[in-house]
Amino acid sequence: MQTAIVTGGGRGIGAAISRKLAQDGYRILLTYSTSSKPAEMLVDRIRDSGIDAVAVNCDVTDAREVALLATHPWVIGGIDVLILNHGRYDRIDARSLDYAHLRRTMSTNFEGSFLIWESVKSSLRNDARICVIGSQLGTRGSPHGADYSASKAALALWARSLAQAVGSEGKRVNIVAPGFVDTDILAGDSPEKRASRIEEVPLKRIGTPDDIAETVSYLVSDDANYVTGVVVHVNGGLYLP
């Protein structure tokens, strides 16, 4: 059985990716940093479906915790798929962003992904597939997410560079850039804000975590075996770069 790691795989978009890859037949090692309960509940649900799964506590900003991930027996046994999904978005006006906050966002969204990859890279199989969850804002920018946008832009270009470096080994690396997706990130929206978001999207709905998971599933499958280094925008037409 092939093994997939999903960072932040216990809730939100990550949970949908964990569920979908389990349906695709991968055993799932998902990580969480604070939300142990949903992570453990998801692991139970996946196991009930006959697929093995495990939840591992790993704060990606803690280099020691990330290094420990490499000692997990499933990681040592070889990784087929690595999904770098974790992320934070705190919505701060670009004019009042301070250095401490910038550091926190960069160390979670960008450096955290790098650290995970660095920790597990020697366990990636020759034909490993890596998928990074970026954001439309990583191309578009945002007046209330300068730190977030910069972190996602860095993440996407790092992933693209990696794709060019590891292609000759048979590995593929792609980026999925969601638009508006119904998770805790949008939970603070007023009904008016939500309605205006829907109006903004040509397909007239907010994306679901499953919309993102379906695309990830395709990118790590053999159906995409000539696809690498791309940014796939999954946003209902909201932003067309």
Exposure string for 80-114, b = 16+ CB within 10 A, e = fewer: bbbbbbbbbbeebeeeebeeeebebbbbbbbbbbb
Q: Does 87 bind ligand NDP (CB under 6 A)?
A: yes
Nearer to ligand NDP, 50 or 191 (CB): 191
Sign of CA pseudo-dihedral 175, 11, 126, 60: positive
Query: Which tokens sit at 236?
Result: 């209902």
Query: Active site includes 148?
Result: yes
Residue from 86, 140, 160, 172 in contact with ligand NDP (CB under 6 A): 86
Residue from 146, 163, 181, 219 in contact with ligand NDP (CB under 6 A): 181
Q: Does 10 bind ligand NDP (CB under 6 A)?
A: yes
| Smallest separation (angstroms) from ligand NDP to the CB of 31 | 6
Please identify which of the residues 26, 32, 89, 148 carries the catalytic annotation.
148
**How many other β-carbons are positioned within 10 Å of the β-carbon of residue 54?**
17
Residues 23 and 221 sit within 8 Å (Cβ to Cβ)? no
Task: Please state the separation of Cα 18 from the chain's center in Å.
Answer: 11
| Listed residue (7, 9, 2, 62) closest to 27, CA to CA | 2
Q: Does 171 bind ligand NDP (CB under 6 A)?
A: no
Residue from 4, 5, 6, 13 in contact with ligand NDP (CB under 6 A): 13
Cα angle for residues 112, 36, 194 (degrees, 5° grid): 75
Residues 156 and 134 sit within 8 Å (Cβ to Cβ)? yes
Q: Does 34 bind ligand NDP (CB under 6 A)?
A: yes
End-to-end CA distance of the chain: 38
Query: Which tokens sit at 37?
Result: 């309960």
Nearer to ligand NDP, 2 or 139 (CB): 139
Q: Does 61 bind ligand NDP (CB under 6 A)?
A: yes
For residues 141 and 146, give the distance between their C-alpha atoms in angstroms, rounded to a whole number: 7
Nearer to ligand NDP, 57 or 125 (CB): 57
Q: Does 236 bind ligand NDP (CB under 6 A)?
A: no
Q: Which stretch binds ligand NDP (CB under 6 A): 18-26, 28-36, 48-56, 159-167?
A: 28-36
Q: Does 110 bind ligand NDP (CB under 6 A)?
A: no
For residues 117 and 82, give the distance between their C-alpha atoms in angstroms, rounded to a whole number: 8
Residue from 68, 186, 201, 227 in contact with ligand NDP (CB under 6 A): 186
Residue from 4, 5, 120, 133 in contact with ligand NDP (CB under 6 A): 133
Residues in 150-169 at the binding interface with ligand NDP, rule: CB under 6 A: none
Residues 151 and 134 sit within 8 Å (Cβ to Cβ)? no
Name the residues that contact ligand NDP, by CB under 6 A. 8, 10-14, 32-35, 59-61, 85-89, 108, 112, 133, 135, 178, 180-181, 183-186
Q: Which residues are catalytic?
A: 148
